[in-house]
Structures are given as C-alpha cells and as structure tokens.
Structure 1
Amino acid sequence: MKGIKVTCLGALLLLIGCGDDSPSIHKWQGVAEDTGNYVYVIRNPPKTQSGLVSLIVSYIKNDPDTPSDFLEDEHSIFFYKESSVTPINGERPKASWWEQPFTDPAIKYKEIDAQEIATIRYFKDKKRLTVFLQGEYRRHCSMRTDSIVDVYDNGKIDPLCD
C-alpha cells in the first residue's frame, strides 16, 4: 500500500513539474528602447511556418497591449526564440570583462541575431501585415521563392511551405 502512495505521489509531482509547453509570446526589454521598434520573445515556437505566422497574427490582433502606433505604420516588431541570450525576463548574461567571475569560466557574449525568427511590419496604406521569416523558418519551396509573407486585413495569407 505504501508503494502505491509513493508511486502516485511521484507521478503527480512529475505532471506538476512538466509545465506548459504551448507556444507563448512575451514582451522583451533586452534591446535598447531608443530604436523605436518593439521586441518580443517566443517560448516554444511552432515548428512550421504556418504555425508561426498564425501565432504572431493572432497575438497582434488579440493582445490588448499591442502598441497602437504599430498599427499606424510606425514601427516594426522583432520576434526572437527564447534562449540563454533572449530570456523571457530580459536579463541577458553579463559578458564585459569587468563583469566576469574570477573563479568560473569566462562568459562569452553572444549576439541575439541567431535567435531572430521573424520581423513584422504593418502597412496601413496597403492594409496588410508583412512577416519576414528568419532563421529556421526561412524556407523556400515551389509555392514560395522568398521568406516574405503578406497577411491581409481580410484574412487572406500568402501560401506557405507547410
């Protein structure tokens, strides 16, 4: 009887510890704010182009915190995949020589560009949201010769590779 309780408790703790693996988008403060652009980090991004584009479009249309001037054709939004250099909380690892630990191995500064997966821009006059796919999402196929996807206000989306 005691073994069953321990097994059930272990299974329960395993389920609780697994967490939610669904994709989520978080505002990020890790890049200088004076650029006039907005930066977001995606935790567990979808594997497909269509999944990524759908996630981004849904977020932009439904999130009450979407910057109003973004929809006025003013700025771009950059999306990065969550990583050690793009953590959700925005606290990037220190890498300057004066911030290095004396006893641990030196921390190498990594550029965040390798984690960029999409950039979007809204063109008010053309009534379309343009998604520039980057990194692993930059794929070409018979339906696409580039990685620029237009999403129109009427809901139409350019064909994708998947």
Structure 2
Amino acid sequence: MESQDTVIDAIDKQLLNLLQKDASISNQSLAELVHVSPPTCLRRVRRLHELGLIEKQVALLQPDRLAQLQGHGLTAIVEITLDQQGAEFLNAFEARVIAHEQVQQCWRVSPGPDFILVVHAHDMPAYHALAQRLFTHDANVRNVKAFFATHRAKFDTFVPLE
C-alpha cells in the first residue's frame, strides 16, 4: 500500500507536464494554470522535488545557434561491449565514463552491446583523445563502434505522463 506522501494526483501530473515544457514559468503563472493558490502550488512543486520526480532544472542550449559562435562540435553515439560483464565490471566502466563531461548520456542496454553512450566532443582529435582514455586503455573493453551524427531531427527531454 502506497503512503499518501508518494501518491501523485492529476494536479501533480499537470505541474510535471507544465514544468517539463518550461521550468522557468513563475509560481504565480503555474498556480493559475493548474487552478490552485500560489502557496499550494509552491508546496506541491517542492514535494515533487523531494520525491525525486524532478531530478533537476537546467537550461537547454540550442546547438545550431551555439555552433555559429564556437563551431559545431562532434556528436557520437558509441556502442561498447565489455569482455567481462559481471556487475563489478559494468559498475567500474560506468563510473569511469560518467565522470567525463563529454559523455552526455550513458545507457546500459540489452541485448547487443553492454553500453550506449552519447558523446559530444569539440572535434575529431578531441573525440579520439577521449576514446583513447576511456576505451583503448581499458583491457575489459572488447568492442567499440562509433556512429557520428550528421543531423539531429529531434531532441526532447519530455517524459509522457498519463
């Protein structure tokens, strides 16, 4: 049986949907949109944070506009297969790669490779240096397959709710 503290209702889901679309919206505007008082809205949003449903609030940068200022950079989707897949080996590899800010996403997957990484590097030499540090010097990495992005048709962080 779930405690009342972990139950989310329709208003909570509305708040989560609205905040996923624009986390910079004022509490006053948010309260008006979900038809609650501002103090109630603030209390609910704080509770959603405390429950861990809102992991963090960030600014999403527009890569094409940023590229006009500093160059496009290089995005790679990388498949990694380890030689040994025991929990300690998976955990060690994961801990090492997530420590690098160029690794934007790290997924354990099955079947197929053990990991899929999304990596952003300034250019090919920067990607090569990262690959050397993370993959070549690890005796447990059996296979690396990198795919280099040529066009991004969609990117979204929205998690659909009921």
Does the TM-score normalized on the shorter chain lie above 0.5?
A: no
Q: Which has the higher helix share?
A: 2
TM-score normalized with structure 2 length? 0.25
Q: Pick 1 or 2: higher relative contact order, CA cutoff 8 A, min separation 6.
A: 2
Q: Provide TM-score, normalisation by structure 1.
A: 0.25
